Structure 1
Amino acid sequence: GHENERERLIMEKDAVIQELASLESQLASSETQINTLTDVLDEQKSKVSSIKQEYDQAESELNQSRAKMKECDSQISRIVKDQHKLQQKLSDANVERKKMENEVKRMEMEQKDCSLKVDKLVEKHGWIAAEKQLFGKSGTDYDFSSRDTNEARKELEHLQAEQAGLEKRVNKKVMAMFEKAEDEFNDLISKKNIIEN
């Protein structure tokens, strides 16, 4: 019985030794795998870090580009605004130019009209051509600046009132004086009106 027991124990011991050797071999293999995986993991970490760096740089560049685009947009809208303003100024200037052209035309027409009127007046009233050089000269009948038409009108009205009073006891001398003054006044006014118009 002892012999059998001993053999059994030897067999068990051998089996344990074999198992231990197998486990040691497995452990060594596992360690190799772990080392390999650690290397791979380190490599991946380094890749991730490098990719993150690239991503951060790309994001920063993108943000810069966006900022530039924004700046360009605001510049474009400023330029468009300026263009609109200039367009408005240009169209205002055109309107003003047309107004001025029309005004010039109107004045040219008026000038022609006045020239025609003057020609007709000269044709109609012979004395204008003869006395034209006296117009506006001081000391002549045509020096309207020194003669007050209001005064002349008052004088005429005064004489008219006097005449009305005298009409009942007709004084031929006063009547003749009055008529002369009235004729002179009317002549003066008509000449003034002709020249001024």
Structure 2
Amino acid sequence: MVKIAQLLVGRAHRYEMMSHELEVIKARLATTSHAQTHAEIESLRARVAALAHQLEAGRAAQAAAAARANELEAKVKDIKGHREREFKKAEEALKKAKKQAEQHSSSWKQREQEFSTLQLEVAELENGVATSARQLAETKTAAEKLAAALQAAKEEHASAENAVKAVQAQIKSQKAEIASRSGEVAKLAKKREKLAAANTDIELKIKELQFKIKELETEATDCGKKITALEKEHTWIPGEKQYFGLAGGLYDFAARQAHVAGSRLAQLKERKDRLSRGLNARAHTLLGKEEEQYQDVLRKKQIVEADRAKLVQVMAELDEKKKRTLVTACAQVNKDFGSIFSTLLPGACARLAPPPGRTVLDGLEVKVGFNNTWKESLGELSGGQRSLVALSLVLAMLLFKPAPLYILDEVDAALDLSHTQNIGHMLKEHFTHSQFIIVSLKDGMFNNANVLFRTRFVDGMSAVQRTVNRS
């Protein structure tokens, strides 16, 4: 029954496609010259006659298929009762078989448990016999080892007795020698006492020296603190410290007398006080710091100027690259836009052009023409034509950088059947390296698809049918 329905649907689709093809041909005849029109009319009349003949044959086949469908429906109604009776008998037999299977399975599980218990007992007995035999062998081996060890212990005992006797003889001889040397030990003890007394004196001297060292370390620490305080008080000392003690220099302390230097220092301090009233002593130091800061600022200025020049150069290069990219993209999109639109709407052309007196960077306008006559604005186009213009522009921009997959959801909803077929033909021709998933309700899109997925209701449920388009 389902195959007959599919056959009827296929016949209806074929009739609709043939009718649509006839309309498309008639529309194309209106746009051709008179000579071409006359030749095409003759060929099309013959084709129309053939299509009418095929249409009559299809209608006859449709009537026969409907009669056959009625017969099959009557048979199917009679078969349902027979199938229900057979199904009930099979269910009863299946229930009996399930009960018997459950009984046999319970008895079989009980036998399996008994068999597994016996296997475990046999394995335990075998393990016990093997363990006993192994223990017996180990006991025999241990007894033999103990006998050998006993014999070796007797031999060692005899040799040890001989060694003890020899050691006792040596002890007697050593006691005699110790007695003879006790006098020497007494002399050495006296000598040790003398050395201990000398050691005590030396330790006292060492303690005195350690006390003097601590005093010198304390004095050195105080001197270090004084030097640190003088360096903090007189900031010129760290800079001139390297010249201290040099012979013939300003700080030759050996060649100068302390009292003369003291009077000279007093004079210099008095002169410094007089001069400091009208002179800034830190001006030289501040001048040096300002000069260093000035040089640092000049160096940073040069770095900033070099960076600015590089940035200006990079910006100019990017602007030039942007211009070249925009011009290239505009040329490619404009070419694809015209090609796609002429495919979707035969006899029409479209292009992208900048406004008068401006460049591509200022913007682009869409121009549409029919039979080499350009329209002033898009407002002169119909709704379907404007939809085709928008679709052509979007697809042209996508074709500039194609993606591997596109999804179109009923883009042909507001278009005629001829335009729908042109869209499918255009996608197949221009997007050869991309895959399209298109949702459509019109047959014109189906003819150019590689695979069709049809959704329909079967027994109150939605089902999906996959069909490969071999054409």
| Higher alpha-carbon Rg | 1
Considering fraction of residues, name the structure with more strand: 2
- Answer 1 or 2: higher relative contact order, Cα 8 Å, separation at least 6: 1
Considering fraction of residues, name the structure with more helix: 1
Tell me the TM-score normalised to structure 1 length: 0.36
Tell me the TM-score normalised to structure 2 length: 0.17
